[in-house]
């Protein structure tokens, strides 16, 4: 039991640090809201120009989709990733190596700690945006809402697995800014955060289907809107689970290799 206690202490500390830098946190969130606003105005113009449904989406559904994407992207933000690469670069990872803790589990604790706070903030900001643009589509029913939360939880697991794997590259390169930016761009496109995957031409949709990213936004968002029947939902939840487990295991493998590559500043 004391095993779990040390990880929950890390999670709590991480949440406290987020509170400490609340101004930066708020500015960061408002900064990303500009992007959401731009998307809202863009899609509003598109829907005004072509009334009815586009790609099977009505305007209230599209608004809901954009905000769900914003919410999911706001969870486990770059704070976790940023800390990891800086820890590696500055050599603080040496302390982590000396601690009687599983490295990945402690990283998970510190990434997951601020999630409740991030969730509430994003919902609050999203609600304001929704009101400004005349409301959004709500989940089809209570069951869909519940399954959505499960799927959203798995989406954050996939995100953690992916970010952890990507940050392992910091053991081989000295900076991870480029990799972080590249990862975010690919993720935004193929997760469906920029545009629902249904809008893609077939070849691009085929690419998205075999990548882990669709489980990060598209699957939970489509469940929220009730766009998938029950068998498809079950299948997509399974795919999410497989990617989450797979990426977390891959991260453990990478960590083993990385320990051999680690060179701490100063010898």
Partner 1 sequence: MAANVAIAGRLRSVRRLVFLYLRCLGQQMKAILAYEADFVVLLFSAVIVQFTGFLFIWTIFQRIPNINGWTFWQVVMMYALIFVTEGVGSLFFEGTWRLTNLVYTGQFDQMLVRPVSPIVQVLASAVGFNGLGNLVTGFVLIGISITNVPVAWTPGRLLMLAILIASAATIRVAINLASAASAFWVSSPWSMVPMFVHQLSEFAKYPITIYSFAVQALIVVAVPFAFVSFFPTAYLFNNEAWSAIGLLTPLVAVYSLLVAVWIFNAGLRRYESTGH
**Furthest C-alpha separation in the chain:** 65
Buried b / exposed e across 152-187, counting CB within 10 Å, b at 16+?
Answer: bebbbbbbbbbbbbbbbbbbeeeebeebbeebbeeb
Return the C-alpha torsion angle 182, 185, 186, 189, nearest 10: -170
Q: CA–CA separation, 252 vs 231, rounded Å?
A: 32
Nearest residue (CB) to partner 1, 4 versus 177: 177
Minimum separation from the CB atom of position 114 to partner 1 (A):
16
Please state the φ and ψ torsions of residue 36, each to the nearest 5 degrees. Answer: -65, -40
Q: Which among 10-18, 98-106, 182-190, 243-251 is the span making contact with partner 1, rule CB under 8 A? A: 182-190
Cβ burial, residue 257 (10 Å; 0-12/13-18/19+): exposed
The answer to the question of residue 185 lying near partner 1 (CB under 8 A) is yes
The answer to the question of residue 207 lying near partner 1 (CB under 8 A) is no
Nearest residue (CB) to partner 1, 132 versus 146: 132
The answer to the question of residue 101 lying near partner 1 (CB under 8 A) is no
The answer to the question of residue 242 lying near partner 1 (CB under 8 A) is no
Minimum separation from the CB atom of position 138 to partner 1 (A):
25
Nearest residue (CB) to partner 1, 94 versus 194: 194
Q: Cβ contacts of residue 56 below 8 Å, gap of 6+?
A: 198, 227
The answer to the question of residue 45 lying near partner 1 (CB under 8 A) is yes
The answer to the question of residue 179 lying near partner 1 (CB under 8 A) is yes
Cβ atoms of residues 191 and 216 within 8 Å:
yes
| Interface contacts to partner 1, rule CB under 8 A | 21, 23-24, 27-28, 30-32, 34-35, 37-38, 41-42, 44-46, 49-50, 54-55, 172-175, 177-179, 181-182, 185-186, 188-189, 194-195, 199-201, 204
């Amino acid at each position: 039991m004391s095993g779990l206690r040390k990880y929950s202490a890390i999670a709590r500390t991480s949440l406290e640090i987020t509170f400490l830098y609340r101004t930066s946190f708020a500015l960061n969130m408002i900064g990303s809201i500009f992007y959401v606003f731009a998307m809202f105005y863009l899609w509003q113009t598109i829907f005004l120009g072509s009334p009815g449904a586009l790609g099977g989406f009505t305007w209230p559904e599209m608004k809901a989709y954009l905000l769900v994407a914003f919410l999911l992207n706001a969870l486990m933000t770059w704070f976790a990733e940023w800390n990891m690469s800086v820890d590696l670069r500055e050599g603080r990872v040496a302390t982590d190596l000396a601690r009687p803790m599983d490295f990945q589990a402690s990283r998970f604790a510190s990434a997951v700690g601020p999630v409740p706070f991030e969730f509430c903030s994003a919902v609050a900001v999203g609600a304001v945006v929704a009101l400004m643009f005349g409301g959004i589509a709500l989940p089809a029913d209570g069951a869909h809402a519940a399954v959505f939360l499960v799927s959203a939880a798995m989406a954050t697991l996939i995100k953690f697995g992916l970010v952890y794997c990507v940050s392992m590259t910091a053991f081989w390169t000295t900076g991870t800014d480029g990799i972080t930016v590249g990862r975010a761009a690919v993720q935004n496109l193929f997760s469906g955060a920029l545009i629902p995957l249904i809008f893609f031409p077939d070849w691009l949709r085929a690419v998205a289907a075999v990548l882990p990213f669709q489980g990060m936004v598209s699957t939970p968002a489509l469940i929220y809107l009730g766009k998938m029947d029950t068998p498809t939902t079950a299948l997509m939840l399974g795919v999410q689970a497989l990617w989450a487990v797979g990426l977390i295991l891959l991260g453990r493998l990478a960590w083993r290799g990385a320990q051999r590559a680690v060179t701490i500043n100063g010898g």
